[in-house]
Amino acid sequence: MAVIRAFKAIRPRKDLAFKVAALPYDVMNSDEAREEAKGNEYSFLHIDKAEIDLDKNIGIYDEKVYKKAKENLENMISKDILIEDKKPCLYIYRLTMNGKSQTGIVGCTSIDDYINNNIKKHEHTRHDKEIDRINHVDYCNANTGPIFMTYRNNDEINNIVNEWTKKEAVYDFTAKDGVLHKVWIIDNEDTILKICNIFKEIDSLYIADGHHRAASAVKVGIKRRKEAGNYSGDEEFNFFLSVVFPDSDLNIIDYNRIVKDLNGLTPKEYIDKISGKFKAEVYNGVKQYKPCKKHTYGMYLDGMWYKLTAKEGTYDLNDVVSSLDVSILQDNLLSPILGIKDPRQDSRIDFVGGIRGLDELEQKVDSKEYRLAFSMYPVTLDELMKIADSGKVMPPKSTWFEPKLRSGLFIHKLK
């Protein structure tokens, strides 16, 4: 059973939605956020990354940052830039990129579903990142960024969405990256009840993106329960902001790797070592090698692209985690040959979302900032769900979803 609950969203005035809406806080650093928000006083980055309004010498985890986020949020509400709906609603959020749309229901999900694993995860989280968002949610008294979730396709929900989206959208704008964003408000109580009841028959929701936001929202909810002493379970802090999409709508793209050095090896020694686990061929096709099937990789080294193919014995097809391409690369090359034991912590490796293209990999290596790069074949949504169902987790940086949900279009107050 999955709980979806209507809520009174705090959201932008219709004429300001395109100016308020911002990319998630965790896809850019502080300098990039400052540049992104330059000249736009309405940008939600002033709330999600409030350090952009403070001296650069102030650390991003300083208490002043969270106080500034709260101040900026309250300021936008007081100026009617953000306005709270008068009654609880559900919302429909559609994003269209390159002609492909994904359409989800915006509502609140239950912290108990998260705790009881009715909301399934596929990633570990980092404590420092959790603490950051815990503080942000707690100071702002609100979930400011939605958790991106998915569920197995349901025709009943599709039919409701298809009918409702024939109405005029309350928001309809194209962001500067070319993604079209449309929002509809479901304010009919019978329709809301019907949707909520349908979700009660769905076994599980799956976090696609936003594990740190979800974990932090849940921990704030637990904290508020302890502070309250007695609570009914109906309080807003028992729920957190989510957008749930049918799995048939979603698209995972490649999440590529760049590495700073060859771990003391010469290029020849390195190629010789990897050849025990991978068939390495100089790629003589087009300029770059983008894998087109599982267990193959592109590798860029010294101005040349190689096609790598994992050899038999490097993975177990019966193990959904170890047979992932990201696991095969980590277990047979990055760790034993390049010495990168923990890719979450090792500063010698970085990750590049496939949305940036393979030119980005070449540029990083050709600049001498990095020594080599790997282009990956994307994880499938079916693999993600199987891993989450099994209670296992994927290796770090396995999935990259596009398009990115915008923050600022919906805010959920905790009380």
Domains and CATH numbers, the chain: 4-252+402-413 (no CATH), 255-377 (3.30.1760)
* Three-class secondary structure of residue 11 per DSSP: strand
Task: Look at 27 and 19; give whichever has higher pLDDT.
Answer: 19
DSSP string spanning 32-48? Answer: HHHHHHTT-TT-THHHH
**Beta partners for residue 151, in sequence order:** 246
364-396: b (≥16 Cβ within 10 Å) or e = bbeeeebbbbbbbbbbebebbbebbeeeebbbb
* The pLDDT value given to residue 164: 97
Average pLDDT over residues 363-380: 97
Whether the pLDDT of residue 287 is over 90: the answer is no
Provide the CA 310 distance to its chain's centre, in angstroms. Answer: 28
> Furthest-apart CA pair in the chain: how many Å?
68
Helix axes 211-228, 127-140, angle to 10 degrees: 60
**Encoding tokens for residue 232?**
């009914």
Residue 244 dihedral angles phi and psi, to the nearest 5° = -110, 125
Report how far residue 208's alpha carbon sits from residue 187's, in angstroms, rounded to the nearest whole number. 27
Whether the pLDDT of residue 386 is over 70: the answer is yes
| pLDDT tens per residue across span 24-55 | 999 899 999 999 999 999 999 999 999 999 99
pLDDT band at 303 (very low <50, low <70, confident <90, very high): very high
Report how far residue 111's alpha carbon sits from residue 233's, in angstroms, rounded to the nearest whole number. 10
pLDDT band at 396 (very low <50, low <70, confident <90, very high): confident
pTM given for the model: 0.92
For the chain, first and last CA: distance in Å? Answer: 25
pLDDT band at 82 (very low <50, low <70, confident <90, very high): very high
Whether the pLDDT of residue 139 is over 80: the answer is yes
- Of 405, 393, 404, give the one whose Cα is nearest residue 355: 404
Average pLDDT over residues 59-70: 97
Q: Is-contact 235 228, C-beta < 8 A?
A: yes
- Of 57, 86, 66, give the one whose Cα is nearest residue 25: 66
Report how far residue 72's alpha carbon sits from residue 75's, in angstroms, rounded to the nearest whole number. 5
* The pLDDT value given to residue 23: 95
Determine the Cα angle at 343 with ends 209 and 271, to 5°: 125
| pLDDT tens per residue across span 175-232 | 999 999 999 999 999 999 999 999 999 999 999 999 999 999 999 999 999 999 999 9
Q: Is-contact 301 371, C-beta < 8 A?
A: yes
Whether the pLDDT of residue 285 is over 70: the answer is no
Whether the pLDDT of residue 3 is over 90: the answer is yes
| HSE (side-chain half, CA atoms, 13 Å) at 370 | 21
Average pLDDT over residues 155-178: 97
**Beta partners for residue 83, in sequence order:** 11
Average pLDDT over residues 56-80: 97
Average pLDDT over residues 58-84: 98
Q: Report percent pLDDT > 70 for the chain.
A: 100
Q: Is-contact 92 161, C-beta < 8 A?
A: yes
Omega of the bond prior to 336 within 30 degrees of 0, cis? no
Helix-strand-coil percent breakdown of the chain, rounded to 5? 35, 25, 40
* The pLDDT value given to residue 286: 66
* The pLDDT value given to residue 110: 98
* The pLDDT value given to residue 142: 98
- Of 134, 149, 135, give the one whose Cα is nearest residue 215: 134
**Encoding tokens for residue 301?**
């080294």
Q: Report percent pLDDT > 90 for the chain.
A: 94
Report how far residue 327's alpha carbon sits from residue 304's, in angstroms, rounded to the nearest whole number. 24
**What one-character DSSP code corresponds to residue 53?**
G
* Three-class secondary structure of residue 250 per DSSP: coil
Q: Mean pLDDT over all residues of the chain? A: 96
